[in-house]
Copies of this chain bind each other. A is one copy, B any other.
């Protein structure tokens, strides 16, 4: 007998009809002889409706009360799904995060799970029940309701799968898996049968937002086999696992990209110890997230420093940087908010030389000028003018033969 944790997002439980479809799917899985735990999000739109009510009352409500408010969304869906399962003559029971209980720290609206008491869930499963658990929420030691932040239902599902030692954790969503790149940009993009946790992390953080990144980290840490599937189509989705030898043959898993980048450069900075902190400290203090960072020595005495930020933060970051420039006696600040980042991701590149040169050669052949380069063990990112984005993605997709990915991958 296998134990599965199934997680359904807001779109999958967005109406009474869809909840009934989820119930059918869960019932079928149990009838195959499996134990099933279901984790649900709120009905799509509901969390925003509740936040809307709150904002009508207070511009900045306290995080504790926001959690009390928005945690009701998942409580509604778990009750409704259990009713739908009962209607199909399945034995089932619902739990809120507090009831399970899913113990978190007290960081309201973005709490972290500390521990899951799984005794009740195990007993229910052993007695043949389907257990339906409200995602996204927990309870702290003081008994206060907490939430895990947007997308936190994925984290709940993975954490439960880890605690229960589930065979697989299925994340049902509105896409049918992880693709080699965004099919809207490259129609030849193909669904991957498998991908490693590390690749998935790079893909997710680079813009392929299929799963909440924290849930992937969690799955990797606790060795939970994660599968991304479609709620609405049949198919086996994409399995996210540890690297294994069988997969060594593939060089590159996918092409990720991020449209919302902007870059800022400060030139002629006196090259003294601590200069990076002096430049980035004020930016971090303003709660602006920095992505790529590059530092070059321009000559013996000065250095050039470039970093990228989200396009929405460009003007603020530029103003901060200009103040820093005056303070440090640097030459000037330049910037560009019409750039994008394109990355190739793959665990295979670790053991294969020439990946980077293939990438640069491919872009050069298309006449695409590379503005920045940054590399990690399993990815290479380049910054290019935004007008080249689609061209760059398609050229790389072909160059690394992702169009030809076969079913064993």
CB within 8 A of A83: which of B20, B57, B71, B79? Answer: B57
Binary CB contact string for chain A from 63 to 88 against chain B (1 if under 8 A, 0 otherwise): 01110110110011011101110110
In contact, A84 and B58 (Cβ under 8 angstroms):
yes
- Min distance, Cβ A404 to any Cβ of chain B, angstroms: 46
A96 at the interface (CB under 8 A from B): yes
* Contact (Cβ within 8 A) B75 A54: no
**Structural contact, A79 and B99, CB atoms closer than 8 A:** no
The verdict on A65 contacting B53 (CB below 8 Å), with A72-B72, A72-B75 known, is no
Decide if A62 is an interface residue (CB 8 Å cutoff).
yes
Answer yes or no: A300 CB below 8 A from chain B CBs: no
Residues in B with CB closer than 8 Å to A64 are 93
Cβ-closest chain B residue relative to A66: B79
A69 in complex: contacting residue of B68, B79, B145, CB < 8 Å: B79
Within 8 Å of chain B (Cβ to Cβ): is A29? Answer: no
Shortest distance between the CB of A73 and any CB in chain B (Å): 8
Q: Does A372 sit at the interface, judged by CB under 8 A?
A: no
Alpha-carbon distance between A53 and B20 when the two chains are bound, in angstroms: 12
Whether, in the assembled complex, A19 has its beta carbon less than 8 Å from a beta carbon of chain B, the answer is yes
Interface size on A, residues (CB 8 A): 36
A76-B69 in contact (CB<8A):
yes
Query: Which of A57, A80, A84 has most B Cβ within 10 Å?
Result: A57
Q: Select one of B19, B56, B84, B98 contacting A98, CB under 8 A.
A: B98
0 or 1 for each of A86-121: is its CB under 8 Å from B? (1 = yes)? 110000011010110000000000000000000000
**Is the CB of A329 closer than 8 A to any CB of chain B?**
no
Across-interface contacts of A72 in B (CB, < 8 A): 72, 75-76
Number of copies: 2
A399 interfacial contact with B, CB 8 Å: no
Q: Are B56 and A16 in contact (CB under 8 A)?
A: yes
Taking CB atoms, residues of chain B closer than 8 Å to A45 are none
A80 touches B69 (CB 8 A): yes
A61 contacts chain B at the CB level, 8 A cutoff: yes
One of B20, B65, B76, B94 near A79 (C-beta < 8 A): B65
- Which B residues lie within 8 Å of A94 (CB)? 65, 68
Q: Mark A24-66, 1 if CB is under 8 A from B, else 0.
A: 0000000000000000000000000010011011100110111
For residue A143, CB closer than 8 A to chain B, the reply is yes
B57, A68: Cβ atoms closer than 8 Å:
no
Expressed in whole angstroms, the minimum distance between the Cβ of A113 and any Cβ of chain B is: 19
Check if B50 sits within 8 Å of A65, measured CB to CB: no
* Complex Cα–Cα for A87 and B64 (A): 14
- Chain B residue numbers with a CB within 8 Å of A144 are 99
Please state if B99 and A87 are interface contacts (CB–CB under 8 Å): no
A sample of 11 inter-chain contacts (CB < 8 A) reads A20-B57, A53-B76, A58-B86, A58-B87, A62-B82, A68-B75, A68-B78, A68-B79, A72-B76, A99-B144, A99-B145
Question: Across chains A and B, which 5 residue pairs bring their CB atoms closest together, nearest first?
Answer: A69-B79, A72-B72, A68-B79, A58-B83, A16-B56
Additional pairs, 18, CB under 8 Å, beyond known A65-B82, A69-B80: A19-B57, A54-B80, A57-B83, A57-B84, A58-B83, A58-B84, A62-B83, A62-B86, A65-B83, A65-B86, A68-B75, A68-B78, A69-B76, A69-B83, A72-B76, A75-B75, A98-B98, A99-B143
| A interface residues, Cβ below 8 angstroms from B | 16, 19-20, 50, 53-54, 56-58, 61-62, 64-66, 68-69, 71-72, 75-76, 78-80, 82-84, 86-87, 93-94, 96, 98-99, 143-145
